[in-house]
């Protein structure tokens, strides 16, 4: 029992014992490819978060090791991501000026708070809470965030000063400063942007035509941002673009991060608490979504509650090693998967690669134009923008469409934190709306079978004195009143009804409010000479009802199947009619 418990909390014990040379080779190859991809991404996302570039590298080291120990996905790659970086900047941007000591301390504290929140949720087995954020709401939020991120990076492409936490503030600021555009910066940023867009679709076919395999060409195409970094850094050095107004990354400290406790006494910890919750939820939902998708392709599985612990450990590790909030990234996780990663050790090897880069290659980043990093971010985040969800949700369900549009518009107008809050509210409101007005159908017998279907959809057999009603939802406080009114409405519409049978195939729970409504329905129907019956009640629901006064005072019966109930009522009615005829003959 103890061994099983240890493996459940330390998934590394499940795969480390089976590690061999072939797996090592696969993990090392995947780590090499992801490292090449992750270096420019880490630098760029740190820029997006308003932090020194080395913090992006720091956030890609120890967190990967921590996740490798505690995480359950074999191929998820943890580190800085665009949306979380934007949320980090939004959370601490009004606390201190970007890049200042206080700003960096707040970022470390934010990572720590996020880690503690995630860890706590994992230990309490509360991963189910993430289900309250529906996919349409997440899609709307990520699409809006992608648009905001892309516009926020235009200032680096144009070489101007602009700011704003929402789309309209950004557009106004960009418009006010566009006259100060630095054309040397544009000459660097715009070609890089075009090149990176071309790389996403054009480099792979070109490499295939040279004789490379499809898979090898796809892997090499991911190194496009590195080529952009090398080319623009050399151009900045050779042409002395820094003296011409092109903003460069500048000197990046060489070496590994120092390990120190986050400043828990930071003045803004209360303000950061809510932001940490939002960042944790969004990061967890994104990470689990990617993890499930990749695991399913190899018939593996991830454990959401343990993922909370893994991501919590990764964020705490980031806070102690000079990083900022991290989560599982979609793009690099897919690259990690396609490159052949077999175990989380690939992420640990990637951490070693990033550490080597921090120790030996950071001096070469001094001439890297920020416009290049901005172009990298723009190309990455525009792949997150999904306007198709609007068409899809409109065609499928108007309520989902409203949730998507609401989240998208609020995020664009009011910023990411308000957008997340709105998304959570929209998800809960959508759930309550759908369950508070449940689908209810009058059903009848499909001829020649024991199945009962909606009378408005099928040709079925019904009986004037029996109302068969199916409720397609659990009964709870939010829909109890609606169900009561619907039952009375149907009963009042037909004066011949003597029996009402509620078909409970879709009822998974009946709370106290709904139970009181059932008692009221039973009493009112009884006073009207109508018997109330239940059919096909699930075992757990019946276990609860068995101990209530409702069952003791139920005017009718509880039938194992709806068909059996109908047959018993008809048989009893036939017997009663026969008795009446006999009495009359006497």
Tally of CB atoms within 10 A around 154: 18
Per-residue pLDDT of 289-344, as tens digits, reads 888 888 888 888 889 999 999 999 999 999 999 999 999 988 889 888 988 899 99
- Confidence band of 1 (pLDDT split at 50, 70, 90): very low
**Strand, coil or helix: what is 475?**
strand
E strands present in 285-347: 327-328
Residue 351 has pLDDT above 50, yes or no: yes
Per-residue pLDDT of 385-411, as tens digits, reads 888 889 998 998 888 888 889 999 999
The model's pTM is 0.82
Residue 275 has pLDDT above 80, yes or no: yes
**Residues 6+ away with beta carbon under 8 Å from 572:** none
pLDDT at residue 289 in the model: 84
204 bridge partner residues? none
- Confidence band of 3 (pLDDT split at 50, 70, 90): very low
Residue 163 has pLDDT above 90, yes or no: no
Residue 4 has pLDDT above 60, yes or no: no
Residue 177 has pLDDT above 90, yes or no: yes
pLDDT at residue 191 in the model: 96
Q: Give the pairing of strands 499-503 and 466-471.
A: parallel
Per-residue pLDDT of 33-66, as tens digits, reads 899 888 888 999 999 999 999 999 999 999 999 9
Q: How many helices (H) and strands (E) does the chain have?
A: 27, 8
pLDDT at residue 548 in the model: 92
Q: Is 58 exposed, middle or buried (0-12, 13-18, 19+ CB in 10 A)?
A: buried
- For all residues of the chain together, what is the average pLDDT? 90
pLDDT at residue 578 in the model: 61
pLDDT at residue 384 in the model: 83
Which of 169-183, 207-221, 470-484, 556-570 is predicted with the least confidence, judged by mean pLDDT? 207-221
Average pLDDT over residues 252-265: 89
The position carrying tokens 């780590």 is: 31
Residue 198 has pLDDT above 50, yes or no: yes
Dist. CA 359–CA 196, nearest whole Å: 27
Which of 93-97, 111-115, 481-485, 526-530 is predicted with the least confidence, judged by mean pLDDT? 93-97
pLDDT at residue 576 in the model: 62
In the chain, % of residues over pLDDT 70 = 97
- Report how far apart the first and last C-alpha atoms of the chain are (Å, whole number): 76
């Amino acid at each position: 029992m103890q061994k099983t418990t240890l493996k459940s909390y330390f998934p590394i014990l499940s795969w480390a014992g089976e590690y061999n040379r072939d797996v090592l080779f696969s993990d090392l190859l995947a780590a090499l490819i992801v490292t090449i991809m992750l270096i420019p991404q880490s630098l760029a996302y740190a820029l997006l978060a308003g932090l020194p570039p080395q913090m992006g590298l720091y956030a890609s080291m120890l967190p990967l090791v921590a996740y490798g120990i505690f995480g359950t996905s074999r191929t998820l790659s943890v580190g800085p991501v665009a949306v979380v970086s934007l949320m980090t900047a939004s959370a601490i941007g009004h606390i201190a000026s970007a890049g200042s000591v206080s700003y960096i301390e707040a970022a470390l504290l934010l990572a720590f708070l996020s880690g503690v929140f995630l860890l706590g949720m994992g230990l309490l087995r509360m991963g189910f809470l993430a289900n309250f954020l529906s996919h349409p709401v997440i899609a709307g939020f990520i699409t809006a965030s992608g648009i905001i991120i892309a516009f926020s990076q235009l200032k680096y492409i144009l070489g101007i000063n602009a700011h704003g936490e929402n789309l309209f503030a950004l557009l106004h600021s960009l418009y006010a400063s566009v006259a100060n555009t630095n054309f040397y910066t544009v000459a660097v940023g715009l070609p890089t942007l075009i090149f990176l867009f071309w790389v996403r679709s054009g480099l792979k076919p070109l490499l295939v035509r040279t004789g490379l395999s499809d898979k090898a060409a796809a892997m090499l195409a991911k190194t496009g941002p590195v080529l952009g970094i090398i080319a623009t850094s050399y151009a900045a050095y050779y042409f002395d673009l820094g003296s011409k107004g092109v903003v460069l990354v500048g000197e990046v400290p060489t070496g590994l991060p120092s390990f120190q406790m986050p400043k828990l006494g930071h003045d803004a910890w209360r303000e950061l608490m809510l932001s940490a919750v939002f960042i944790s939820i969004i990061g967890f939902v994104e990470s689990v979504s990617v993890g499930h998708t990749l695991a399913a392709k190899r018939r593996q599985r991830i454990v959401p509650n343990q993922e909370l612990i893994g991501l919590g450990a990764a964020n705490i590790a980031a806070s102690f090693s000079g990083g900022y909030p991290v989560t599982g990234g979609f793009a690099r996780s897919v690259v990690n998967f396609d490159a052949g990663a077999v175990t989380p050790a690939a992420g640990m090897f990637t951490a070693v690669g990033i550490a080597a880069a921090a120790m030996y290659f950071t001096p070469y980043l001094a001439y890297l134009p920020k416009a290049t990093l901005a172009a990298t971010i723009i190309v990455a985040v525009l792949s997150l923008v999904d306007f198709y969800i609007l068409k899809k949700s409109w065609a499928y369900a108007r309520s989902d469409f409203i949730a998507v549009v609401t989240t998208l518009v609020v995020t664009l107008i009011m910023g990411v934190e308000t957008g997340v809050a709105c998304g959570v509210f929209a998800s809960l409101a959508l759930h309550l709306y759908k369950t508070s007005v449940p689908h209810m159908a009058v059903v009848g017998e499909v001829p020649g079978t024991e199945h009962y279907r909606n009378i408005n959809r099928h040709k079925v057999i019904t009986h004037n004195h029996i109302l068969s009603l199916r409720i397609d939802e659990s009964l709870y406080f939010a829909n109890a009143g609606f169900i009561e009114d619907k039952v009375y409405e149907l009963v009042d519409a037909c004066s011949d009804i003597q029996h009402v049978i509620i078909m409970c195939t879709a009822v998974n729970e009946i709370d106290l409010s709904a139970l009181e409504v059932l008692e009221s329905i039973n009493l009112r129907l009884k006073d009207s000479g109508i018997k109330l019956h239940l059919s096909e009640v699930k075992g757990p629901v019946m276990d609860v009802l068995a101990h209530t006064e409702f069952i003791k005072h139920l005017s009718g019966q509880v039938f194992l199947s709806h068909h059996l109930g109908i047959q018993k009522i008809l048989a009893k009615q036939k017997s009663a009619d026969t008795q009446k005829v006999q009495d009359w003959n006497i």
